[in-house]
């Protein structure tokens, strides 16, 4: 893909919080149109801080954020435009939900975009259906469970139909069914053309869906590539206090303990072929 397909880019971003914490130290990040990109990193790596730059909530001290090749400007009119393009689902749903009912909460974004009443109703209905929360329209968001809140927060951004959806740990705190349901929804939206950027600690689920993975540690991007490329860098992943996906860990055990010739990053199919090949050779020896 060419550079003109880059829809969102962070160029050499530095950010320092008012208390002096230097949270981002020269971060470079790109998402191309239609990609699903995962950002992995341990607690405190700077994932949320980086994401808050993507629609101009935070302004970098150095470097710039580009949307479709144009640097973000920080006047209120330009920011409104940016927020039409890039929607962010916060890490903590309580930071996002504030209206008295679920319906009003999800309607807030499209109303702000100036959609007609009819269009707003349609979008709210579609968004709540997409996240499996229809029937909850009249409930106050603060009565919902953690997972339900998260789904409503996602619906609120979905209803704005952004070109890029940025989700800060969308699967954290969800049960396995809930997490896999959200990932399937994101996968479907991605297939329909939406660019999706997700931060996570969940090395088993999210990278399965991601086209590309960035790994962040201590305010810096330490590696980037396809899930296969990234998880083959075992020491780097462990050095950043992350664990390998269970599949990759299994491969490591097969390789180190059982001496089965397997390269990290192999798919299950390739592993199976290799084990069979190995067994065939061993059988011949006997
Ligand atoms: N409002 C703030 N004021 C001062 N320091 C902050 C603030 N918010 C975050 N930080 C610091 O900035 C660094 C990056 O935090 P950030 O929340 O971006 O990490 P993260 O990768 O999202 O972590 P987690 O996985 O726990 O969500 C941390 O050292 C954190 O303590
Ligand atoms: Mg965070």
96 touches 156 (CB < 8 A): yes
Query: What tokens does 115 get?
Result: 């959609």
Residues 6+ apart with CB under 8 A from 257: none
Residues 6+ apart with CB under 8 A from 249: 243
Interval 258-273: pLDDT, tens: 777 766 566 667 767 7
Within 10 A of 21 (CB to CB), how many other CB atoms are there?
Answer: 12
More confident residue, 243 or 164: 164
Residue 89 alpha carbon to ligand 2 centre in Å: 11
Interval 187-218: pLDDT, tens: 899 999 999 999 988 887 777 789 999 999 99
DSSP character for 94? G
Write out the residues surrounding ion ligand 2, Cβ under 5 A.
47-48, 91
Strands (DSSP E) contained in the chain are: 6-16, 22-32, 36-40, 62-67, 70-71, 86-89, 164-168, 195-200, 212-217, 220-225
Within 10 A of 269 (CB to CB), how many other CB atoms are there?
Answer: 8
Q: Is 49 in the pocket of ligand 1 (CB under 6 A)?
A: yes
Q: Is 20 in the pocket of ligand 1 (CB under 6 A)?
A: no
Residue 147 alpha carbon to ligand 2 centre in Å: 17
Hey, which residues does 212 pair with through a beta bridge?
A: 37
Q: Is 173 in the pocket of ligand 1 (CB under 6 A)?
A: no
Q: What's the pLDDT score for residue 253? A: 79
Pick the CATH number of 3-242 from 3.50.50.60, 3.90.1150.10, 3.20.20.140, 3.40.50.300: 3.40.50.300
Query: What tokens does 60 get?
Result: 């970098």
Average pLDDT of the chain to the nearest whole number: 90
Interval 28-87: pLDDT, tens: 999 999 999 999 999 999 999 999 999 999 999 999 999 999 999 999 999 999 999 999
Residue 168 alpha carbon to ligand 1 centre in Å: 12
Ligand number nearest to the C-alpha of 15: 1
Residue 255: pLDDT band (50, 70, 90) is confident
Within 10 A of 91 (CB to CB), how many other CB atoms are there?
Answer: 20
Residue with the nearest Cα to atom 1 of ligand 1?
17
DSSP character for 163? S
Residue with the nearest Cα to atom 26 of ligand 1?
43
**Which of 95, 93, 118, 97 has its CA nearest to residue 108?**
97
Hey, which residues does 24 pair with through a beta bridge?
A: 15
Highest mean pLDDT among 221-230, 243-252, 254-263: 221-230
Report the alpha-carbon angle 90-93-94, nearest 5.
Answer: 120
In this predicted structure, the answer to whether residue 284 has a pLDDT above a threshold of 90 is no
Q: What's the pLDDT score for residue 282? A: 73
In this predicted structure, the answer to whether residue 1 has a pLDDT above a threshold of 70 is no
184 touches 170 (CB < 8 A): no
Residue 46 alpha carbon to ligand 1 centre in Å: 6
Residue 250 alpha carbon to ligand 1 centre in Å: 32
Instruction: State the alpha helices, DSSP H only, in 86-145.
Output: 102-112, 117-130
Q: Is 21 in the pocket of ligand 1 (CB under 6 A)?
A: yes
Element (H, E) at 153: helix 146-158
More confident residue, 272 or 12: 12
106 touches 183 (CB < 8 A): no
Q: Is 44 in the pocket of ligand 1 (CB under 6 A)?
A: yes
Q: Where in the chain are all domains bearing CATH 3.40.50.300? A: 3-242
More confident residue, 242 or 69: 69
Mean pLDDT confidence for 118-143:
95
Sign of the C-alpha dihedral, residues 31, 37, 43, 45?
A: negative
Residue 184: pLDDT band (50, 70, 90) is confident
């Amino acid at each position: 893909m060419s550079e003109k397909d880059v829809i969102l880019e962070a160029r050499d971003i530095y950010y320092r919080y008012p208390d002096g914490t230097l949270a981002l130290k020269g971060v470079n990040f790109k998402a191309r149109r239609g990609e699903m990109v995962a950002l992995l990193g341990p607690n405190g790596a700077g994932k949320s801080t980086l994401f808050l730059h993507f629609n101009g909530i935070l302004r970098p001290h150095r470097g710039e954020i580009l949307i479709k090749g144009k640097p973000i400007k920080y006047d209120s009119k330009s920011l409104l435009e940016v927020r039409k393009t890039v929607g962010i689902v916060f890490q903590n749903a309580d930071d996002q939900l504030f209206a008295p009912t679920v319906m009003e909460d999800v309607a807030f974004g499209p109303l702000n975009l100036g959609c007609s009443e009819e269009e707003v109703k349609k979008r709210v209905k579609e968004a709540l259906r997409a996240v499996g929360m229809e029937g909850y329209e009249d409930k106050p968001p603060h009565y919902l469970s953690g997972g339900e809140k998260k789904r409503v927060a996602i619906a609120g951004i979905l209803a704005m139909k952004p070109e890029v959806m940025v989700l800060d740990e969308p699967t954290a705190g969800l049960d396995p069914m809930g997490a896999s349901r959200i990932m399937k929804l994101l996968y479907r939206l991605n297939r329909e053309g939406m660019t999706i950027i997700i931060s996570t600690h969940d090395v088993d689920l999210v990278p399965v869906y991601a086209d590309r993975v960035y790994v962040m540690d201590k305010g810096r991007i330490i590696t980037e590539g396809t899930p296969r490329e990234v998880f083959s860098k075992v020491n780097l992943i462990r050095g950043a206090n992350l664990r390998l996906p269970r599949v990759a860990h299994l491969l490591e055990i097969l390789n180190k303990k059982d001496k089965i010739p397997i390269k990290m990053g192999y798919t299950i199919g390739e592993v199976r072929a290799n084990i069979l090949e190995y067994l065939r050779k061993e059988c011949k020896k006997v």
